[in-house]
Amino acid sequence: MTIGIGDSLPETTFVKMTAEGPEKIGSKEFFAGRRVALFSVPGAFTPTCSAKHLPGFIDKADAIKAKGVDEIACTAVNDAFVMGAWSKQAGAESKVTLLADGNGDFVKAIDLTLDASAHGMGVRGKRFSMLVKDGVVEQLNVEAPGEFRVSSADYLLGQL
Protein backbone atom coordinates (compact mmCIF):
# COMPACT_ATOMS: atom_id res chain seq x y z
CA MET A 1 0.00 0.00 0.00
CA THR A 2 1.27 3.47 -0.89
CA ILE A 3 2.44 5.58 2.01
CA GLY A 4 0.13 8.40 3.03
CA ILE A 5 -0.15 11.40 5.31
CA GLY A 6 0.10 10.30 8.94
CA ASP A 7 2.10 7.15 8.12
CA SER A 8 5.55 6.46 9.54
CA LEU A 9 8.36 5.95 7.08
CA PRO A 10 9.67 2.38 6.94
CA GLU A 11 13.21 1.50 7.96
CA THR A 12 15.48 1.32 4.94
CA THR A 13 19.05 2.39 4.27
CA PHE A 14 20.21 5.34 2.21
CA VAL A 15 23.80 6.06 1.21
CA LYS A 16 25.19 9.57 1.09
CA MET A 17 28.52 10.69 -0.25
CA THR A 18 30.87 12.30 2.25
CA ALA A 19 34.45 13.55 2.05
CA GLU A 20 35.50 10.12 3.34
CA GLY A 21 33.39 8.24 0.77
CA PRO A 22 29.96 6.59 0.82
CA GLU A 23 28.24 6.49 4.21
CA LYS A 24 25.17 4.39 5.03
CA ILE A 25 22.40 5.97 7.08
CA GLY A 26 19.15 4.39 8.21
CA SER A 27 15.94 6.19 7.36
CA LYS A 28 14.75 6.10 10.98
CA GLU A 29 17.99 7.74 12.10
CA PHE A 30 17.94 10.32 9.29
CA PHE A 31 14.39 11.55 9.98
CA ALA A 32 14.33 11.17 13.78
CA GLY A 33 13.56 14.24 15.86
CA ARG A 34 13.40 16.77 13.06
CA ARG A 35 11.41 18.10 10.15
CA VAL A 36 12.72 17.16 6.71
CA ALA A 37 11.57 18.18 3.24
CA LEU A 38 12.26 15.16 1.04
CA PHE A 39 11.85 15.01 -2.70
CA SER A 40 12.40 12.18 -5.14
CA VAL A 41 13.52 12.35 -8.73
CA PRO A 42 13.54 9.55 -11.33
CA GLY A 43 17.26 10.01 -11.90
CA ALA A 44 20.27 12.23 -11.33
CA PHE A 45 21.43 14.18 -14.37
CA THR A 46 18.11 13.64 -16.20
CA PRO A 47 16.55 16.67 -17.93
CA THR A 48 13.69 17.84 -15.65
CA CYS A 49 15.52 16.72 -12.51
CA SER A 50 18.65 18.70 -13.39
CA ALA A 51 17.03 21.73 -14.99
CA LYS A 52 14.10 22.29 -12.62
CA HIS A 53 13.60 19.95 -9.67
CA LEU A 54 16.95 20.05 -7.83
CA PRO A 55 17.70 23.69 -8.78
CA GLY A 56 14.30 24.75 -7.41
CA PHE A 57 15.05 23.28 -4.00
CA ILE A 58 18.56 24.79 -4.02
CA ASP A 59 17.11 28.22 -4.84
CA LYS A 60 14.33 27.97 -2.23
CA ALA A 61 16.38 26.25 0.50
CA ASP A 62 16.68 29.30 2.75
CA ALA A 63 12.96 30.11 2.46
CA ILE A 64 11.97 26.49 3.18
CA LYS A 65 14.29 26.29 6.19
CA ALA A 66 12.94 29.62 7.47
CA LYS A 67 9.52 27.91 7.71
CA GLY A 68 10.77 25.35 10.24
CA VAL A 69 12.39 22.70 8.06
CA ASP A 70 15.64 21.36 9.49
CA GLU A 71 16.96 19.71 6.34
CA ILE A 72 16.13 19.33 2.66
CA ALA A 73 16.97 15.99 1.06
CA CYS A 74 16.71 14.54 -2.42
CA THR A 75 16.60 10.84 -3.17
CA ALA A 76 16.88 8.87 -6.39
CA VAL A 77 17.48 5.28 -7.45
CA ASN A 78 21.11 5.99 -8.25
CA ASP A 79 24.34 5.04 -6.49
CA ALA A 80 26.10 7.34 -4.03
CA PHE A 81 28.89 8.17 -6.49
CA VAL A 82 26.40 9.46 -9.07
CA MET A 83 24.47 11.38 -6.42
CA GLY A 84 27.70 12.90 -5.08
CA ALA A 85 28.79 14.00 -8.55
CA TRP A 86 25.35 15.46 -9.25
CA SER A 87 25.42 17.37 -5.96
CA LYS A 88 28.78 18.92 -6.84
CA GLN A 89 27.78 19.73 -10.41
CA ALA A 90 24.54 21.38 -9.26
CA GLY A 91 26.08 23.27 -6.34
CA ALA A 92 23.71 21.55 -3.93
CA GLU A 93 26.23 20.53 -1.26
CA SER A 94 25.41 23.20 1.33
CA LYS A 95 21.67 23.34 0.60
CA VAL A 96 20.33 19.85 -0.19
CA THR A 97 21.49 16.45 1.06
CA LEU A 98 21.47 13.85 -1.70
CA LEU A 99 20.52 10.35 -0.56
CA ALA A 100 21.19 7.40 -2.83
CA ASP A 101 18.49 4.71 -2.86
CA GLY A 102 20.66 2.52 -5.07
CA ASN A 103 18.50 -0.61 -5.05
CA GLY A 104 15.21 1.27 -4.80
CA ASP A 105 14.50 -0.18 -1.35
CA PHE A 106 13.02 3.07 -0.03
CA VAL A 107 10.68 3.74 -2.97
CA LYS A 108 9.62 0.07 -3.00
CA ALA A 109 8.86 0.19 0.74
CA ILE A 110 6.65 3.27 0.33
CA ASP A 111 5.14 1.94 -2.92
CA LEU A 112 6.20 4.87 -5.07
CA THR A 113 8.13 3.08 -7.81
CA LEU A 114 8.19 4.02 -11.46
CA ASP A 115 8.88 1.46 -14.17
CA ALA A 116 11.11 3.35 -16.61
CA SER A 117 12.21 0.18 -18.41
CA ALA A 118 10.84 1.49 -21.70
CA HIS A 119 13.48 4.24 -21.47
CA GLY A 120 16.30 1.88 -20.46
CA MET A 121 16.28 3.07 -16.84
CA GLY A 122 14.69 0.10 -15.04
CA VAL A 123 12.68 0.59 -11.88
CA ARG A 124 13.08 4.06 -10.36
CA GLY A 125 11.26 6.26 -7.89
CA LYS A 126 8.30 8.38 -8.87
CA ARG A 127 8.70 12.15 -8.79
CA PHE A 128 7.31 13.33 -5.45
CA SER A 129 7.89 15.56 -2.46
CA MET A 130 6.98 15.05 1.15
CA LEU A 131 7.30 16.83 4.44
CA VAL A 132 8.36 14.47 7.23
CA LYS A 133 8.27 15.29 10.93
CA ASP A 134 10.09 12.85 13.23
CA GLY A 135 9.62 10.06 10.67
CA VAL A 136 5.91 10.71 10.05
CA VAL A 137 4.60 12.01 6.72
CA GLU A 138 2.94 15.45 7.13
CA GLN A 139 2.51 16.27 3.42
CA LEU A 140 2.80 14.08 0.33
CA ASN A 141 2.76 15.33 -3.25
CA VAL A 142 3.04 12.70 -5.99
CA GLU A 143 3.29 13.77 -9.61
CA ALA A 144 1.16 12.35 -12.37
CA PRO A 145 3.28 10.60 -15.04
CA GLY A 146 5.31 13.09 -17.07
CA GLU A 147 4.37 16.10 -14.92
CA PHE A 148 6.38 18.47 -12.76
CA ARG A 149 4.12 20.63 -10.62
CA VAL A 150 3.13 19.36 -7.17
CA SER A 151 6.58 18.08 -6.22
CA SER A 152 8.31 21.41 -6.83
CA ALA A 153 10.01 23.53 -4.19
CA ASP A 154 7.48 26.31 -4.76
CA TYR A 155 4.54 23.97 -4.17
CA LEU A 156 6.03 22.54 -0.97
CA LEU A 157 6.93 26.01 0.24
CA GLY A 158 3.29 26.99 -0.23
CA GLN A 159 2.26 24.10 2.03
CA LEU A 160 4.45 25.37 4.83
Give the tens place of pLDDT for each residue, 35-76: 999 999 998 888 887 788 999 999 999 999 999 999 999 999
What the chain holds in terms of domains, given with CATH numbers, is 13-159 (3.40.30.10)
- The single residue of 15, 49, 80, 99 carrying the catalytic annotation is 49
Give me the pLDDT at residue 145, please. Answer: 86
Which residues, 6 or more positions from 111, have their beta carbon under 8 angstroms from its beta carbon? 1, 2, 3
Average pLDDT for the chain? 94
* Angle formed at CA 73 by CA 47 and CA 135, multiple of 5 degrees: 135
Per-residue pLDDT at 118 exceeds 90: no
Question: pLDDT band at 121, cuts 50/70/90?
Answer: confident
For 146-153, which contacts have Cβ atoms below 8 Å and span 24 or more sequence positions?
A: 148/48, 148/52, 148/53, 151/39, 151/40, 151/53, 151/127, 152/52, 152/53, 152/56, 153/39, 153/56, 153/57, 153/59, 153/60, 153/64
Indicate if 49 belongs to the active site.
Answer: yes
- Give the global pTM: 0.94
Q: How many residues does the chain have?
A: 160
Per-residue pLDDT at 157 exceeds 90: yes
